[in-house]
Structure formats: structure tokens, C-alpha cells
Structure 1
Amino acid sequence: MVTGASGGVGRATARAFAARGDRVALLARGREGLAAAADDVQRAGGEALVVTVDMADAKAVDDAAQQVVDVFGRIDVWVNNAFAGVFAPFTEITPDEFRRVTEVTYLGCVFGTRAALRHMLPRDRGTIVQVGSALAYRGIPLQSAYCGAKHAIQGFNESLRCELLHERSGVRTTMVQLPAVNTPQFDWVLSRVPGRARPVAPVYQPEVAARAIVHAARHGRRREYWVGGSTVATLLANAVAPGLLERYLARTAFDAQRDAGEHPGQGNLWVPADGPHGRDFGAHGRFDAESVPASPQEWVSRNRGHVGKALTVGAGVLAARKLTRLARR
């Protein structure tokens, strides 16, 4: 099950699961995007089930999970990816808008996790993947509601992991921390910033995120995955010198999150972006020309076991050569 599957990272993730021949339940509000996502899944070799749901509605999420179990028989993987956001200084975000971002992004994750556990715990197996962000550790200006929600998911997931470990449960939960990604959200997000909203460079293609999410779903024992060199650099800098990083972001992050031009203004906070417009936004945003299609760091993260073995073998070979030279002296 993939939430937020109608566009962006969720759409790319659904396709990545389908390429493995998986059955994929697609959860989102937007009907046009969901229909197109289902076509993507079927063309990629998977089986699709469309479930229209608002992740901020706990009962609707429970009903969606039951619908999937009724059709597919079980839930093996649940990916919490749905979110909403507002690009604006905190003082320009209304209480209702802040509440809505929190309900969709944070409580949607909580409700999704609860629904997944209801079906996974009796079987004592399954993996829940929380789609996070470097912003789950390092808040930035103009995205206070989104950053707050991602921080909340981080704390919630750590608490849940402790409880599952205490119970020696076979159910796993992990979190994938993403970098800036080229998704349509920057054209449908509610924005009060002059110019057009954009991600802070470097920007990665959504397929990079999707590969990491699918890998995390298959190897859920790891507590966390960092995707992209920029994520690693941000989290390490925040751990070492958070005050210095705050001053740097205060100087640079306002301009780094906007382009010239006029924002489309069709925010999806209250209604699906594709609802009144009748269009499918797809997985990619408008930043294809500058986006990175692969991440060496993400590959190393996914294959760190093989990398570790290779380094161990390499070190052993070097040590053997050195001993051989010493023996010949």
C-alpha cells in the first residue's frame, strides 16, 4: 500500500513496486492521478487497486486498509508518503492551514501505521516505511508546518520501533530520509512566497527516492536510510554545528526556495490538485533539466553489506601483500 500514490514520490514508488510484479494498492484523494497511476502499475507488470481516501480521516484509512485486505488478502508493505504543505513564513500561515498540514502529513502517517498494524500484528509480519526527509532533523524557513510534521513522524517512529522491539514483533518499521526531489508539489503547494516555489538544490529525480523506499521495504530491519549526498551533508552539519547551519539557512534558504515567475496558485491543501483541473501531474515536476537521476550515496546505502565485504576483502588482500613482502625480506 502506497499513500500519496497519485503523484511525485508516491507515483514513482508505485511503479517501482509494480516492476517487481507486486500487487499495489494506490491511496490518495485525486481521482485523475490515481487512475493514471493504476495504468502505470499495470504497464510495469503489477496489479493495481485504486482507493480514494483522505489520510487525515482515521476511519476512512481503516476502511481503505480493510478494502485492500478484502481484495488482496493481506498487507505486506505499507508506505506512508502522503503529505501537504504551505510555503510561507510561519506568521502568514493560518491556524486552520497549519492544522491541515499536520493532520495530513503527521496524523496521516499515524493513522496509516495504526491501520497497517491492525492487519500485520496478527500475522506477526510486515514492513511499514515512513517516508521522511532531511527536514525531519533540520527545519528550514518557509516550511514550518511541513518540518514540524516530519519531526513528529521521526519521534513517533522511534517510539514505535522501541515498542515493537520490546514485544519481539516480526513487524518492522523503518524511515527513509529524502533530499529535495523533482516532484509536482512545488506547483500545487499553497504558497505565499514571491515567485514560484522550488526545492533547494541539488534536486534528485523521484526514481532515486523510489528505489530507496522499495529497498527499505525489503530490508526493514534497518532503522533509517539516508538518500542523497545533500541529506548526509545536512544531517551531519546539523549534528556538528546546528547554530552555524541555522545562520547559513537564514541567509540563503529564502531565495533558494523560489524561482522567477508567478506561482500557479492552485494549492492542494483542501482539495486534490487534479480535482478541479482534470489533469494528471505525474511523478516529475518542472526540474528535469537540473535533476540528478542517480545517487552514489543512495547506492552505497542500499548495498552497504556488499560494500563492507568488498572493503574487508580489499583490506585483507593489502594486508596479505604486505606480509608477503615482509616475509621476503
Structure 2
Amino acid sequence: MSRVVVVTGATSGIGRAAAREFAGRGDRLVLAARSPGTLAQVRRECEEAGAEAHDVPTDVTAPGALDALAAAAVGQFGRLDVWVHTAAVMAYGRFEEIPAEVFEQVVRTDLLAAAGAARVALRHFRAAGGGTLILTGSVLGHITAPYMSGYVTSKWGLHGLARALQQESRDLPGVHVCLVTPGSVDTPVYQQAANYVGRVGRPPLPITTPERVARAIVGCADRPRREISVGRVNVLMRVGFTALPAVYDMLVGPLMRLGGLTNRPVPPTEGVVFRPNPAGAAVRGGWLPALPGLVRTVGGTAASAGAAVLRRLR
């Protein structure tokens, strides 16, 4: 029997990739995000993949919105089996230069809305005798980086919340709380972030794909796990942060300025912290080359080089 899956943050990045992944599995989807037009587009993508899908325009920070979302899921499909929370925003800048209202909205979206989603989902799961809550954390919930204080604060809080919820649900055998912890991911969140540092942000290397994170999310729905880390150097960064804090703090600032910020100037902006930008909504952020294009480029270059060698040999 197919599952009923709620996905928040479904119009972009990891959330959109997860919606597609669940759709490909034949699950029934309830999709939530702030932009009605883009959300309808994602619903059509899921339907084209053969899934039943229902879109519910939702601002996860609005009072009562998450209760309404759960009610819509139950009203449409009769139950609620999996809740995936991926909604998140970001702001760049020194802590004292980020407007207080922007910092607070980042925390409200990335942490308090996740807590609200957990509260609603766990109440339904407890009443139903089972269900899986999947929260999307970050390696920045285990380490820190400058110029991202609101996001870091939120993800540290989210990791603590997830651990507490896992402890509290030990007496509920059918209820699972999972945390998926990616490192740098090729999504539009960096370009769409609020920015008060003057340079457009980017994901530091190495970068993984949102599709890989989506597969980890679906894997948690299939076989729940306490935490899944997605990223080749996540463990290394955590070890450095914990075992060599003085060295880590000395290096992280220069590395962030080199690898986490582009040279493209940007004026102060609220980004999508308070309102969505449908034009910027996509699964990928363009930080990784498209594989087919890369293969064609490499193949073409190799062919040209081979032809040149043959001409010389003649």
C-alpha cells in the first residue's frame, strides 16, 4: 500500500527532489510551500510520475498553518504516514549587521516551524499508532561557520530537538524520528538567501546533489534511522571542530570567505526570507555541471585531442 507523505518546502531544492523521489515510488503526496503557482507545477511533476498529489499553499511560520496542512492531508487521503520537513531560508552577514527581524525570521522558519511540524505530526502518529517524521538538518548543526549565524543557530537547535524527540518516542514502537544531515548541496538556497555581507553565497566544496539527499530521505521512510549524514567530508569537519577547536576557528573564516562566498557583489537584500521568489525555485542551484553536458564536453575535448594527435602522426 502506498504511503501518504507530507513534504514541506516542496517547491525548491531538497524538498522538490524528495517529492519527485516519493512520486516515483508511487506514494501519495501532500505538497506544501509558499508559492501557489510553483507548488502546482511540482504537483503536476509528481502526477506525471504516476503519483497522486495534492498541493496546499502553506507558510510554515503562519499560526495554525501546519495544523491546517495535516488536516488537508487526512481529509484528502484519510491518513498521514510520513512527514518530511525541508522548508528553510538563509541569511549571510556578520551577526550584528543582519537586521534583527531577518535573523528572527530565519530562526522562525528553520527551527520553530520545524518544531511546529514535529508537534503536529507526532500527535497524529501517536493517535494512529505509527508514522515517520523526517527533519532536514545540516552539517552546520554539528559545526559552525561565520556569516551564517541565524542558520547555524537554527540547525544546532534542530539537532537538539530531534535528539529529544527520539528519546521521548522510545515508548512508541511505531513512531520514528529521523534526521537527515547534508553538507553542501547544489540548491538555489544560497542565491536566494538574505545577504548583508556584500557577496553572493555559494556551497563550499565538495558539493552533493539534492537528488542524493532525497534518496536518503526516502531511505529513512523505508527503514527509519536516527540520523543519516550526506556528504563526503561531514565527519572530517566534525572531528576537526571537536578535536582541534583552535585550529578550526583559525581556518574557518578564511575558508568561508574563499569557498563559501563568490566574488559577485550583491546589495543588501532580504532574499526569500519573508516572501518567495517563484523565478528562483528549482531543484538545482547550478553549482554543479550537468552530467550529460560534462560528458559531451569531455568527450568532445578528448576527440579533438585525439584527432590532433592523429594528424601529427600522419
TM over 0.5, shorter chain: yes
By how many angstroms is 1:45 displaced?
2.0
* Aligned counterparts of 1:29 and 1:64: Cα–Cα separation in 2: 12
SS state of the match for residue 153, structure 2?
Answer: helix
TM-score calculated relative to the size of structure 1: 0.83
By how many angstroms is 1:280 displaced?
5.9
Letter matched to residue 180 of structure 1: S
Whether the 8 Å CA contact 1:33–1:282 is kept in 2: the answer is no
SS state of the match for residue 179, structure 2?
Answer: strand
In the alignment, does 2:147 pair up with 1:142? yes
Range moving further from structure 2, 263-272 or 174-183: 263-272
Alignment of 1:116-135 (within 5 A): 116-135=121-140
In structure 2, the CA distance between the partners of 1:48 and 1:280, relative to structure 1 (3 Å rule), is: farther
In the alignment, does 2:193 pair up with 1:189? yes
* Aligned counterparts of 1:35 and 1:78: Cα–Cα separation in 2: 19
SS state of the match for residue 181, structure 1?
Answer: coil
Alignment of 1:145-224 (within 5 A): 145-165=150-170, 167-220=171-224, 222-224=225-227
Runs of 4+ in 1 over 6 A off after TM superposition: none
By how many angstroms is 1:40 displaced?
1.5
SS state of the match for residue 229, structure 1?
Answer: coil
From 63, 68, 83, the counterpart of 1:63 = 68
Whether the 8 Å CA contact 2:86–2:136 is kept in 1: the answer is yes
SS state of the match for residue 190, structure 2?
Answer: helix
By how many angstroms is 1:237 displaced?
2.3
Query: C-alpha deviations, 1:29-83, integer Å up to 9, x for none?
Result: 0123212211221122211111111111241110111111100111111011111
Whether the 8 Å CA contact 2:206–2:232 is kept in 1: the answer is no
User: Percent identity of the aligned residues?
Assistant: 32
Letter matched to residue 54 of structure 2: L
In the alignment, does 2:99 pair up with 1:94? yes
By how many angstroms is 1:231 displaced?
1.5
In the alignment, does 2:20 pair up with 1:15? yes
* Aligned counterparts of 1:75 and 1:156: Cα–Cα separation in 2: 22
Whether the 8 Å CA contact 2:126–2:172 is kept in 1: the answer is no
In structure 2, the CA distance between the partners of 1:290 and 1:47, relative to structure 1 (3 Å rule), is: closer
SS state of the match for residue 260, structure 1?
Answer: strand
* Aligned counterparts of 2:109 and 2:172: Cα–Cα separation in 1: 30
Q: Which residue of 1 aligns with 2:250?
A: 247
* Aligned counterparts of 2:240 and 2:221: Cα–Cα separation in 1: 28
Range moving further from structure 2, 146-155 or 86-95: 86-95
Unpaired segments ≥5 residues, structure 1: 292-329
Letter matched to residue 76 of structure 1: D
SS state of the match for residue 257, structure 2?
Answer: helix
* Aligned counterparts of 1:51 and 1:230: Cα–Cα separation in 2: 36
Range moving further from structure 2, 169-178 or 249-258: 249-258
Q: Which residue of 1 aligns with 2:84?
A: 79
Letter matched to residue 260 of structure 1: N
By how many angstroms is 1:86 displaced?
0.6
* Aligned counterparts of 1:280 and 1:240: Cα–Cα separation in 2: 39
Whether the 8 Å CA contact 2:192–2:280 is kept in 1: the answer is no
* Aligned counterparts of 1:246 and 1:266: Cα–Cα separation in 2: 28
Unpaired segments ≥5 residues, structure 2: 1-5, 292-314
In the alignment, does 2:258 pair up with 1:261? no
Q: Which residue of 1 aligns with 2:57?
A: 52
Alignment of 1:107-122 (within 5 A): 107-122=112-127
In the alignment, does 2:230 pair up with 1:227? yes
SS state of the match for residue 188, structure 1?
Answer: coil
Aligned residues: 285
By how many angstroms is 1:260 displaced?
2.4
* Aligned counterparts of 2:86 and 2:258: Cα–Cα separation in 1: 27
In the alignment, does 2:18 pair up with 1:4? no
Letter matched to residue 232 of structure 2: G
Whether the 8 Å CA contact 1:36–1:280 is kept in 2: the answer is no
SS state of the match for residue 191, structure 2?
Answer: helix
TM-score calculated relative to the size of structure 2: 0.87
Q: Which residue of 2 aligns with 1:325?
A: none
* Aligned counterparts of 1:185 and 1:14: Cα–Cα separation in 2: 17
* Aligned counterparts of 2:288 and 2:42: Cα–Cα separation in 1: 20
SS state of the match for residue 212, structure 1?
Answer: helix
| CA root-mean-square deviation | 1.7
